[in-house]
Copies of this chain bind each other. A is one copy, B any other.
Amino acid sequence: MKDYIGFLREELAAHQALFTQLEALLPQISEVGQALRDCLARGGKILLMGNGGSAADSQHIAAEIVGRYKKERRGLPAIALTTDTSIITSVGNDYGYEFIFSRQVEALCSPLDAVIGITTSGNSINVVRAIEVAKEIGATTIGLTGGTGGKLAALCDYNLVMPSNVTARIQEAHIFIGHSVCDILEAD
Protein backbone atom coordinates (compact mmCIF):
# COMPACT_ATOMS: atom_id res chain seq x y z
CA MET A 1 0.00 0.00 0.00
CA LYS A 2 1.27 3.43 -0.95
CA ASP A 3 1.70 5.87 1.88
CA TYR A 4 0.45 9.43 1.46
CA ILE A 5 1.49 10.67 4.91
CA GLY A 6 4.33 12.96 3.80
CA PHE A 7 2.04 14.59 1.28
CA LEU A 8 -0.79 14.98 3.82
CA ARG A 9 1.65 16.56 6.28
CA GLU A 10 2.38 19.30 3.73
CA GLU A 11 -1.34 19.96 3.23
CA LEU A 12 -1.82 20.20 6.99
CA ALA A 13 1.12 22.62 7.29
CA ALA A 14 -0.36 24.79 4.52
CA HIS A 15 -3.70 24.84 6.32
CA GLN A 16 -2.08 25.86 9.58
CA ALA A 17 0.01 28.57 7.93
CA LEU A 18 -3.13 30.10 6.42
CA PHE A 19 -4.98 29.99 9.74
CA THR A 20 -2.10 31.77 11.46
CA GLN A 21 -2.67 34.59 8.99
CA LEU A 22 -6.40 34.72 9.77
CA GLU A 23 -5.49 36.47 13.04
CA ALA A 24 -5.10 39.66 11.00
CA LEU A 25 -8.65 39.30 9.61
CA LEU A 26 -10.42 39.01 12.98
CA PRO A 27 -11.43 42.72 13.10
CA GLN A 28 -13.04 42.38 9.66
CA ILE A 29 -14.80 39.13 10.61
CA SER A 30 -16.14 40.90 13.70
CA GLU A 31 -17.45 43.73 11.51
CA VAL A 32 -19.20 41.32 9.13
CA GLY A 33 -20.79 39.54 12.10
CA GLN A 34 -22.04 42.89 13.38
CA ALA A 35 -23.40 43.81 9.92
CA LEU A 36 -25.36 40.54 9.86
CA ARG A 37 -26.70 41.18 13.37
CA ASP A 38 -27.81 44.65 12.19
CA CYS A 39 -29.47 43.06 9.14
CA LEU A 40 -31.53 40.65 11.26
CA ALA A 41 -32.30 43.38 13.83
CA ARG A 42 -33.86 45.59 11.13
CA GLY A 43 -35.99 42.69 9.89
CA GLY A 44 -33.78 41.66 6.98
CA LYS A 45 -32.78 38.16 5.91
CA ILE A 46 -29.47 36.66 4.82
CA LEU A 47 -29.06 35.25 1.30
CA LEU A 48 -26.03 33.11 0.43
CA MET A 49 -24.62 31.62 -2.76
CA GLY A 50 -21.58 30.00 -4.35
CA ASN A 51 -20.55 27.17 -6.70
CA GLY A 52 -19.37 23.68 -5.78
CA GLY A 53 -17.72 23.64 -2.37
CA SER A 54 -18.98 27.20 -1.85
CA ALA A 55 -22.56 26.04 -2.55
CA ALA A 56 -22.03 23.50 0.24
CA ASP A 57 -20.74 26.32 2.49
CA SER A 58 -23.80 28.45 1.64
CA GLN A 59 -26.12 25.63 2.69
CA HIS A 60 -24.05 24.82 5.76
CA ILE A 61 -24.26 28.41 7.02
CA ALA A 62 -27.98 28.75 6.19
CA ALA A 63 -28.60 25.51 8.15
CA GLU A 64 -26.82 26.91 11.21
CA ILE A 65 -28.91 30.11 11.06
CA VAL A 66 -32.35 28.65 10.26
CA GLY A 67 -31.80 25.59 12.44
CA ARG A 68 -29.38 25.95 15.29
CA TYR A 69 -25.70 26.63 15.71
CA LYS A 70 -24.96 26.27 19.46
CA LYS A 71 -27.88 27.96 21.20
CA GLU A 72 -31.60 27.31 21.62
CA ARG A 73 -33.37 30.31 20.05
CA ARG A 74 -35.98 31.06 17.39
CA GLY A 75 -35.19 30.20 13.77
CA LEU A 76 -33.54 33.13 12.02
CA PRO A 77 -34.02 33.98 8.32
CA ALA A 78 -31.35 32.77 5.89
CA ILE A 79 -31.73 31.25 2.42
CA ALA A 80 -29.09 29.42 0.39
CA LEU A 81 -29.78 30.18 -3.29
CA THR A 82 -28.05 26.91 -4.25
CA THR A 83 -30.67 24.35 -3.34
CA ASP A 84 -33.69 24.59 -5.62
CA THR A 85 -32.70 22.54 -8.65
CA SER A 86 -35.96 23.40 -10.41
CA ILE A 87 -35.12 27.10 -10.26
CA ILE A 88 -31.44 26.55 -11.05
CA THR A 89 -32.08 24.32 -14.08
CA SER A 90 -34.90 26.45 -15.47
CA VAL A 91 -33.04 29.74 -15.14
CA GLY A 92 -29.82 28.07 -16.32
CA ASN A 93 -31.58 26.58 -19.33
CA ASP A 94 -33.73 29.59 -20.30
CA TYR A 95 -31.44 32.52 -19.45
CA GLY A 96 -27.97 31.02 -18.90
CA TYR A 97 -26.01 29.60 -15.99
CA GLU A 98 -24.61 33.02 -15.16
CA PHE A 99 -28.08 34.19 -14.10
CA ILE A 100 -28.99 31.35 -11.69
CA PHE A 101 -28.28 33.48 -8.60
CA SER A 102 -29.01 37.00 -9.88
CA ARG A 103 -32.53 35.99 -10.90
CA GLN A 104 -33.18 34.71 -7.38
CA VAL A 105 -31.76 37.89 -5.85
CA GLU A 106 -34.08 39.93 -8.12
CA ALA A 107 -37.00 37.81 -6.87
CA LEU A 108 -36.20 37.46 -3.17
CA CYS A 109 -33.95 40.29 -2.02
CA SER A 110 -35.13 43.43 -0.18
CA PRO A 111 -33.06 46.51 0.75
CA LEU A 112 -33.09 45.28 4.36
CA ASP A 113 -31.25 42.06 3.45
CA ALA A 114 -27.59 41.01 3.45
CA VAL A 115 -26.29 39.01 0.50
CA ILE A 116 -23.18 36.84 0.91
CA GLY A 117 -21.30 35.76 -2.23
CA ILE A 118 -18.79 32.93 -1.70
CA THR A 119 -16.20 32.35 -4.44
CA THR A 120 -12.59 31.32 -3.90
CA SER A 121 -11.44 33.08 -7.08
CA GLY A 122 -13.75 36.05 -6.58
CA ASN A 123 -14.61 35.75 -10.26
CA SER A 124 -17.47 33.25 -10.69
CA ILE A 125 -19.76 35.23 -12.95
CA ASN A 126 -23.04 33.98 -11.50
CA VAL A 127 -21.98 35.22 -8.06
CA VAL A 128 -20.66 38.53 -9.43
CA ARG A 129 -23.95 39.21 -11.28
CA ALA A 130 -26.01 38.41 -8.20
CA ILE A 131 -24.00 40.83 -6.06
CA GLU A 132 -24.48 43.51 -8.73
CA VAL A 133 -28.25 43.05 -8.52
CA ALA A 134 -28.12 43.05 -4.71
CA LYS A 135 -26.27 46.40 -4.83
CA GLU A 136 -28.89 47.88 -7.16
CA ILE A 137 -31.57 46.80 -4.69
CA GLY A 138 -29.62 48.46 -1.87
CA ALA A 139 -28.92 45.35 0.22
CA THR A 140 -25.72 44.92 2.26
CA THR A 141 -23.21 42.94 0.19
CA ILE A 142 -20.51 40.67 1.59
CA GLY A 143 -17.82 38.83 -0.37
CA LEU A 144 -16.00 35.74 0.93
CA THR A 145 -13.13 35.21 -1.49
CA GLY A 146 -9.45 34.32 -1.79
CA GLY A 147 -6.40 35.32 -3.83
CA THR A 148 -6.82 38.94 -4.88
CA GLY A 149 -10.54 38.93 -4.12
CA GLY A 150 -11.17 39.08 -7.87
CA LYS A 151 -14.10 41.01 -9.36
CA LEU A 152 -16.21 40.55 -6.26
CA ALA A 153 -13.85 42.53 -4.02
CA ALA A 154 -14.43 45.63 -6.14
CA LEU A 155 -18.18 45.36 -5.61
CA CYS A 156 -18.99 44.38 -2.03
CA ASP A 157 -19.55 46.54 1.04
CA TYR A 158 -17.54 44.03 3.10
CA ASN A 159 -14.78 41.78 1.78
CA LEU A 160 -13.13 38.89 3.54
CA VAL A 161 -10.26 37.88 1.25
CA MET A 162 -8.36 34.74 2.35
CA PRO A 163 -4.59 35.12 1.79
CA SER A 164 -4.24 31.92 -0.29
CA ASN A 165 -4.51 30.85 -3.91
CA VAL A 166 -5.48 27.23 -3.16
CA THR A 167 -9.23 26.63 -3.52
CA ALA A 168 -9.37 23.90 -0.85
CA ARG A 169 -7.51 26.00 1.74
CA ILE A 170 -9.66 29.06 1.01
CA GLN A 171 -12.82 26.96 1.52
CA GLU A 172 -11.46 25.61 4.81
CA ALA A 173 -11.00 29.20 5.99
CA HIS A 174 -14.47 30.20 4.70
CA ILE A 175 -16.26 27.60 6.79
CA PHE A 176 -14.34 28.71 9.89
CA ILE A 177 -15.55 32.24 9.15
CA GLY A 178 -19.10 30.97 8.59
CA HIS A 179 -19.01 29.36 12.03
CA SER A 180 -17.49 32.53 13.55
CA VAL A 181 -20.25 34.66 12.13
CA CYS A 182 -22.85 32.26 13.59
CA ASP A 183 -21.13 32.63 16.97
CA ILE A 184 -21.57 36.39 16.67
CA LEU A 185 -25.23 36.05 15.57
CA GLU A 186 -25.95 33.92 18.66
CA ALA A 187 -23.99 36.16 21.09
CA ASP A 188 -26.08 38.01 23.73
Contact = CB atoms under 8 A, between A and B. Distances in A.
Interface of A: 1-5, 7-9, 11-12, 15-16, 19-20, 22-23, 26-27, 29-31, 33-34, 52-53, 55-57, 59-60, 63-64, 67, 69-70, 167-168, 171-172, 175-176, 179-180, 182-184, 187
A30 B3 contact: yes
Contact of A55 (B11, B31, B59): B59
A92 to B, nearest CB: 15
Nearest to A68: B52
Nearest to A30: B4
26 contacts: A1-B34, A2-B187, A4-B183, A5-B27, A7-B187, A8-B30, A8-B180, A8-B183, A9-B23, A12-B19, A12-B22, A12-B176, A15-B176, A16-B16, A52-B60, A52-B64, A53-B60, A55-B63, A56-B56, A56-B57, A57-B60, A69-B168, A171-B175, A172-B175, A172-B176, A172-B179
Contacts of A27: 5
A84 to B, nearest CB: 9
A8 B29 contact: yes
A70 B183 CA distance: 32
Given A52-B67, A53-B60, A179 B187 contact: no
A34 B16 CA distance: 24
A63 B67 contact: no
Given A19-B12, A179-B11, A187 B63 contact: no
